[in-house]
């Protein structure tokens, strides 16, 4: 961890997609695991790594230079439950309805696999309708949650070993879906190959993830953290999956996670690209998503954003305002550690997830408190770390706003 400045010669690795040499174009500095909320007794053994994004000029993928061991990130105490947001529940119900209407209606007994099914927020919709399904989820605690709602789940990491089991017990699938999971997978070629093998010859792969163009345009650098080993563009996913006979035929923008993209691939290679996909690919090209200069600019924009944010927070401190964080998101870990914001600037962070309560934020050790600690005291400014849930939160916080409370974001 000594060398945090970039040394081009030292910082070279093979691209996870195409194996060409790649180097980071910037560093966010020393970073803990984004979702590793911790107790005081564990401060001393906290794990840190250098968070550095890379852009591959050969295959156009945006990826992390180093990702911590997945076992450090996804385990039996994984702190992320999808169902904490009402709007996300609605989103996944709509996602289910759209899949059913667009792709499964003609199938008599479709079989759907979800990789990284978390607490079952998407699959429970299939389960309720008696549709044959299987969730594959590495974090046992969240998988257990999904079983309560009748979701059939296998606990484990998707890959060569698990597909043998799935093929012999269930047969090939009509559809593989993933939501906010593909971008977590470092061995993307192996997974793409396995997905291609597990799908029948008319099968579809559909996944959605935070969208690179949104991150670049909004300077929402907080999407960059340990779990997100990739941030995809349509151009990059096309390159990855077409090698495994999965043809990209559509891309549909989504509002979730502050700007996501849903990609549709099929094994039926005769299907043509949608006009919408063509427009999206054009738009990416116009933004120069395939050029290194775009990432040099992004770096400058991040630095500018950091200076600006610190100025604002320091001003609030001078004015003796009570500033608290709203929602202990994974994303907040990048902002707090990159900008070195500790409890001098933010008193505590409120969050609705019980297992995060009475812990401290990774790296900067800001206390995490239940929602009532926020609603029952006078807060002047709430730093909205869950800016992607702004609509839902603004509705909920009318009283806070009426009292003169202000929301702040880094964007």
Identified binder of ligand TYD from the candidate list 124, 137, 209, 351, rule CB under 6 A? 351
Q: How far apart are CA 120 and CA 183, in angstroms?
A: 19
Tokens describing residue 339: 């900008």
Q: Answer yes or no whether residue 366 interacts with ligand TYD by CB under 6 A.
A: no
Under the binding rule (CB under 6 A), the answer on residue 33 touching ligand TYD is no
CB of 61 to Zn ion, least distance (A): 5
To Zn ion, the closest distance from the beta carbon of 243 in angstroms equals 12
**Cβ distance 351 to 408 under 8 Å?**
no
Site string for Zn ion, 40-79 (x = CB under 5 A): ----------------x-xx--------------------
User: How far is 368 from 352, CA to CA, in rounded Å?
Assistant: 10
Which of 85, 153, 236, 337 binds ligand TYD (CB under 6 A)? It is 85
Q: Is 190 helix (H, G, I), strand (E, B) or coil?
A: helix
Is residue 245 within the footprint of ligand TYD (CB under 6 A)? no
Nearer to Zn ion, 52 or 59 (CB): 59
Cβ(236)–Cβ(292) below 8 Å: no
d(CA 346, CA 321): 10
- The entry of ligand TYD, Zn ion, none that residue 56 binds, CB within 5 to 8 Å by partner kind: Zn ion
* Selected range binding ligand TYD among 63-71, 145-153, 316-324, 383-391, rule: CB under 6 A: 383-391
Selection from Zn ion, ligand TYD, none that 389 binds (CB < 5 to 8 A by kind) is ligand TYD
324 counts as binding ligand TYD under rule CB under 6 A: no
Could you tell me which residues come within 8 angstroms of residue 328 by beta carbon, excluding any fewer than 6 positions away?
A: 37, 349, 350, 351, 353, 356, 361, 368, 385
CA-angle at 290, arms to 262 and 218, nearest 5° = 60
- With H, G, I as helix, E, B as strand and everything else as coil, classify residue 220: coil
Q: How far apart are CA 411 and CA 401, in angstroms?
A: 19
Pattern 142-171, Zn ion, x by CB under 5 A: ------------------------------
Q: Least distance (Å) from ligand TYD to the CB of residue 215?
A: 13
Q: Least distance (Å) from ligand TYD to the CB of residue 63?
A: 18
Binding partner selected for residue 59 from Zn ion, ligand TYD, none, CB under the kind-specific 5 to 8 Å limit: Zn ion
> Judged by CB under 6 A, does residue 389 bind ligand TYD?
yes
The DSSP-derived string for 226-238 is TT-SEEB-HHHHH
Does position 236 bind ligand TYD by CB under 6 A? no
Q: Residue 237 binds what, of ligand TYD, Zn ion, none (CB under 5 to 8 Å, by partner type)?
A: none
Give whichever of 234 and 386 is closer to Zn ion, judged by the CB atom: 234
Contact between 97 and 58 under an 8 Å Cβ cutoff? The reply is: no
| Pairing of β 199-210 and β 323-326 | unpaired
Beta bridge partners of 263: 207, 251
Piece of the chain touching Zn ion by CB under 5 A; list 17-25, 131-139, 280-288, 369-377:
17-25
Q: Which of 289, 386, 400, 410 binds ligand TYD (CB under 6 A)?
A: 386
Residues contacting 338, CB < 8 A, separation 6+: 28, 29, 31, 51, 221, 302, 306
- 59 vs 264, which CB is nearer to Zn ion? 59
Residue 182 found at the interface with ligand TYD (CB under 6 A) = no
Contact between 228 and ligand TYD per CB under 6 A: no
Do strands 153-155 and 132-137 pair parallel, antiparallel, or not at all (unpaired)? parallel
What is the sign of the dihedral through the CA atoms of 188, 289, 55 and 260? negative
Q: Which stretch binds ligand TYD (CB under 6 A): 97-105, 142-150, 163-171, 384-392?
A: 384-392
Partner in contact with 174, chosen from ligand TYD, Zn ion, none, beta carbon below 5 to 8 Å by kind: none
Stretch that binds ligand TYD, among 197-205, 313-321, 325-333, 375-383 (CB under 6 A): 325-333
The dihedrals phi and psi of 160, each to the nearest 5 degrees, come to -50, -45
> Are 188 and 214 within 8 A, CB to CB?
no
What are the C-alpha distances in Å from 49 to residues 17, 31, 122? 22, 5, 32
Q: Is 330 in the site for ligand TYD (CB under 6 A)?
A: yes
Helices marked H in 319-411: 330-338, 371-375, 390-396, 398-402
Q: In the 8-state DSSP scheme, what is residue 295? A: H
Binding region for ligand TYD (CB under 6 A) = 80, 84-85, 327-331, 351-353, 386, 388-389, 392-393, 396
Q: Which residues bind Zn ion (CB under 5 A)?
A: 15, 17-18, 56, 58-59
């Amino acid at each position: 961890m000594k060398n945090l400045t970039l040394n081009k010669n030292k910082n070279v690795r093979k691209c996870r997609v195409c194996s060409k040499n790649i180097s980071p174009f910037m560093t966010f500095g020393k970073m803990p695991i984004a979702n590793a909320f911790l107790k005081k007794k564990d401060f001393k053994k906290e794990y840190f790594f250098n968070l550095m994004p890379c852009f591959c000029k050969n295959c156009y993928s945006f990826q992390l230079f180093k990702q911590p061991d997945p076992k450090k990130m996804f385990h039996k105490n994984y702190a992320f439950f999808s169902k904490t947001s009402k709007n996300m529940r609605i989103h996944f119900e709509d996602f289910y309805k759209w899949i059913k209407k667009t792709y499964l209606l003609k199938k008599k007994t479709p079989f759907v696999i979800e990789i990284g099914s978390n607490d079952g927020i998407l699959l429970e919709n299939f389960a309720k309708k008696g549709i044959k399904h299987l969730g594959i989820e590495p974090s046992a605690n969240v998988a257990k949650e999904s079983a309560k709602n009748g979701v059939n789940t296998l606990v484990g990491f998707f890959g060569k070993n698990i597909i043998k089991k799935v093929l012999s017990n269930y047969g090939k699938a009509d559809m593989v879906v993933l939501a906010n999971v593909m971008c977590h997978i470092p061995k993307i070629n192996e997974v793409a190959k396995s997905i291609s093998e597990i799908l029948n010859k008319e099968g579809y792969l559909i996944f959605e993830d935070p969208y690179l163009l949104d991150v670049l345009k909004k300077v929402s650098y907080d999407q960059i953290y340990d779990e997100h080993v990739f941030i995809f563009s349509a151009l990059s996913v096309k390159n990855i999956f077409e090698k495994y006979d999965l043809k990209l035929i559509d891309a549909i923008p989504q509002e979730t996670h502050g700007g996501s993209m849903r990609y549709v691939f099929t094994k039926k290679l005769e299907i043509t690209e949608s006009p919408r996909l063509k427009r999206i690919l054009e738009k990416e090209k116009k933004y120069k998503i395939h050029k290194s200069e775009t990432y040099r600019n992004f770096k400058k924009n991040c630095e500018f954003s950091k200076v600006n944010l610190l100025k604002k927070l320091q001003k609030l401190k001078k004015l003796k305002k009570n500033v608290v964080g709203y929602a202990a998101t994974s994303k907040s870990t990048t902002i707090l550690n990159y900008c070195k914001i500790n409890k001098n600037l933010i008193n505590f962070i409120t969050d609705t997830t019980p297992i995060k309560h009475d812990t401290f934020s990774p790296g900067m050790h800001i206390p995490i408190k239940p929602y009532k600690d926020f609603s029952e005291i006078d807060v002047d400014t709430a730093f909205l770390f869950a800016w992607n849930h702004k609509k839902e939160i603004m509705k909920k916080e009318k009283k806070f706003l009426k009292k003169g409370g202000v929301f702040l974001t880094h964007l």
